């Protein structure tokens, strides 16, 4: 069995560590497998894989895709896809949608009296896929909030005053595209957001698995989804949702799942699984 953290973000989206730095941390935490799952971009995967070739660590190609399900935002983890052309068509549109959302949120914040500009946020994001955490960092830096949690609770959360919902692709469409690309789809951090009727709908759309292990899940959440996956033959995954912030820095690898050596997720790892088998 291989110890795997399948939910990690880098500076390619809203993480604080570069892919190279993430690899160093994963090696230090003695992980066997990781997945780079930046928001709506695969820009950090190649660097991570290049660095990992010198380490006894497998890197799965992944991405966290923002979608809509039943009118609300839903995050879908995609893994081990082989046709990056299909994925890039989807993700290219996501980049445009993210820019549009950032500008709308900034406008809403301006209406609330906050002096924040798109250039401020762009300066924080750099070349990364722009997300709400970049806006939150600017808000904290300018003294409008004590921390990111306050920014999201008061202004940027899904039901908060400055939030703007993007016209993301329907989750069924996203699942189909990932499958066309040869990949697998997993529902990210479901928490208490989905009932069994909705989970049944997602499975009928072709969902391959559920992220059962996640920092936001309590013991009841974890048991609920593990049981559901076992009863309905869905893939069980998990990860730390690592962003490199102070609050989650030590969770890398602590929140993890295990993978069998013949797991379909390891097909496109670019390394032989025997490179790490039995190492630790």
Instruction: Identify the structural domains of the chain with CATH numbers, from first to last.
Output: 2-90+170-275 (3.20.20.140), 98-156 (1.10.150.650)
Let me know: does 105 contact 164? Beta carbons within 8 Å: yes
Cα-based distances in Å from 65 to 2, 98, 220: 25, 11, 26
Query: 236 pairs with which residues across the strands?
Result: 210
Higher pLDDT: 61 or 159? It is 61
Let me know: does 206 contact 233? Beta carbons within 8 Å: no
**pLDDT digit string, tens, across residues 185-213:** 999 999 999 999 999 999 999 999 999 99
Core vs surface per residue 84-115: b (16+ CB within 10 A) or e: eebbeebbeebeeebbebbeebbebbeeeebe
| CA-wise closest residue to 152 among 109, 97, 204 | 109
**pLDDT digit string, tens, across residues 102-144:** 999 999 999 999 999 999 998 888 878 788 889 999 999 999 9
Element (H, E) at 220: helix 219-231
Q: What is the mean pLDDT of residues 243-251?
A: 80
Q: What is the pLDDT of residue 277?
A: 56
Cα-based distances in Å from 89 to 73, 178, 181: 20, 11, 11
Please list, in sequence order, all residues whose beta carbon lies within 8 angstroms of the beta carbon of residue 278, skipping any fewer than 6 positions away. none
pTM of this structure? 0.85
Average pLDDT, the chain: 91
Cα-based distances in Å from 101 to 96, 98, 117, 166: 9, 5, 13, 6
**pLDDT digit string, tens, across residues 3-25:** 999 999 999 998 999 999 999 99
Which pair of tokens denotes residue 119?
């250039």
Let me know: does 65 contact 40? Beta carbons within 8 Å: yes
Q: What is the pLDDT of residue 260?
A: 93
**pLDDT digit string, tens, across residues 64-80:** 999 999 988 899 999 99
| CA-wise closest residue to 189 among 43, 61, 83, 39 | 39
Which pair of tokens denotes residue 176?
């189909």
Per the document, the length of the chain is 280
Q: What is the pLDDT of residue 270?
A: 59
**pLDDT digit string, tens, across residues 167-185:** 889 999 999 999 999 999 9
């Amino acid at each position: 069995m291989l110890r795997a953290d399948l939910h990690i973000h880098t500076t390619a989206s809203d993480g604080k560590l570069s892919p190279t730095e993430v690899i160093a941390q994963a090696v230090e935490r003695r992980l066997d497998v990781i997945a780079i799952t930046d928001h709506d971009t695969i820009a950090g995967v190649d660097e991570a894989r290049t660095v990992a070739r010198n380490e006894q660590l497998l890197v799965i190609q992944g991405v966290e895709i923002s979608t809509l399900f039943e009118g609300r935002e839903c995050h879908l983890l995609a893994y081990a896809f082989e046709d990056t052309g299909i994925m890039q068509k989807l993700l290219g549109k996501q980049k445009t949608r993210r820019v549009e959302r950032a500008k709308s949120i900034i406008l809403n914040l301006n209406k609330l009296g906050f002096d924040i500009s798109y250039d401020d946020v762009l300066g924080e994001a750099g070349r990364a896929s722009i997300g709400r955490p970049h806006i939150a960092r600017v808000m904290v830096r300018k003294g409008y909030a004590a921390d990111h949690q306050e920014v999201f609770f008061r202004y940027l959360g899904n039901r908060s005053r400055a939030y703007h919902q993007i016209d993301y692709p329907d989750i069924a469409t996203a699942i189909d595209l990932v499958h066309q690309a040869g990949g697998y789809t997993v529902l990210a951090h479901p928490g208490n957001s989905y009932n069994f009727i909705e989970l049944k709908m997602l499975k009928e759309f072709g969902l391959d698995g559920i992220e059962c292990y996640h920092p936001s899940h309590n013991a009841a959440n974890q048991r609920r989804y593990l049981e559901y996956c076992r009863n309905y033959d869905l893939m069980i995954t998990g990860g730390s949702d690592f962003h490199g912030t102070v609050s989650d820095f030590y969770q890398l690898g602590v929140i993890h799942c295990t993978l069998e050596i013949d797991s379909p997720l390891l097909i496109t790892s670019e390394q032989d699984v025997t490179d790490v088998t039995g190492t630790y």
